[in-house]
Amino acid sequence: MFDAINAKKQIVDWISNYFRESASPETKAVIGISGGKDSSIVAALCVEALGKNRVLGVLLPQGNQQDIDVSRDLCDALGISRIEINIKEAVLSLYGAIMEAGLEPNNVATFNTPARIRMAALYAVSGIVGGRVANTSNLSEDWVGYATKFGDSAGDFSPLSNLTVKEVKSVGRALGLADKFIEKTPIDGLCGKTDEENLGFGYDLLDRYIREGICEDEKTKEKIDSLHKMNLHKVVPMPTFRIK
């Protein structure tokens, strides 16, 4: 049985130790706030570990974001400072330069490029304020590669990467976060589909397979195994050649 209260305490202590051992007392945690459970819970954990004055929320809409009020509400609820940087023009400028070079952006490029530009923006902000960028990925998403390499899979420290979606939500409740920050349906922001619609299976099923090795539908099991194998490169260290 997952002990969310104990897990929360361990994560808070881990964040505190990370900053104490590798950063100055003024260093801030810089977090891209999407309004979803992962960034909300990471922000709340950092507030407990460091205090609200050392946590900065960065909102990164691409044009008009219908649910951006949830991100603002999260920052207000935690009492943390926030800034907003709209990445629309940066994305369009890059696409324009690519087309001028004779290439047409395809689905792979248009799905991943905004995430990488968001991460570039987070590191720019981090460099300006003297911070460390929080990775907000969880184990379930990483397991099937539902993250962008060098985009939302990047960061300086990762509090949730070994917790499934179910476990992450439990930690959120242990933190006392409102349900709207924990249960908000994750949507990719591009095609309007939920994460689970894009994947073709639910996180409850995936979490059970990760933790218990049980998946009663053979086709879904094969799909999860295939996604895991194809996307391991996103979460393991880059292979490097060594002369023998």
Question: From first to last of its 244 residues, what are the pLDDT tens digits of the chain?
Answer: 899 999 999 999 999 999 999 999 999 999 999 999 999 999 999 999 999 999 999 999 999 998 899 999 999 999 999 999 999 999 999 999 999 999 999 999 999 999 999 999 999 999 999 999 999 999 999 999 999 999 999 999 999 999 999 999 999 999 999 999 999 877 655 556 788 888 989 999 999 999 999 999 999 999 999 999 999 999 999 999 999 9
Q: Which residues contact 16 (CB under 8 A, 6 or more apart)?
A: 49, 50
Query: Could you write out the DSSP letters of every residue in the chain?
Result: ---HHHHHHHHHHHHHHHHHHHS-TTPEEEEE--SSHHHHHHHHHHHHHH-GGGEEEEE--SS--TTHHHHHHHHHHHT-EEEE---HHHHHHHHHHHHHTT----HHHHHHHHHHHHHHHHHHHHHHHTEEEBP---HHHHHTT-S-TTTTT--SB-SSTTS-HHHHHHHHHHTT--HHHHSPPPB-SSSS-BHHHHHTS-HHHHHHHHHH---S-HHHHHHHHHHHHHHGGGTSPPP-----
Position 229 in a domain: no
pLDDT tens track for 138-148: 999 999 999 99
Position 64 in a domain: yes
Strand pairing partners for 57?
31, 82
Position 228 in a domain: no
pLDDT tens track for 134-185: 999 999 999 999 999 999 999 999 999 999 999 999 999 999 999 999 998 7
CATH of the domain at 127: 3.40.50.620
Position 216 in a domain: no
Position 207 in a domain: no
Position 18 in a domain: yes
The model's pTM? 0.94
Domain span at residue 26 reads 4-186
Position 215 in a domain: no
Task: Specify the number of domains making up the chain.
Answer: 1
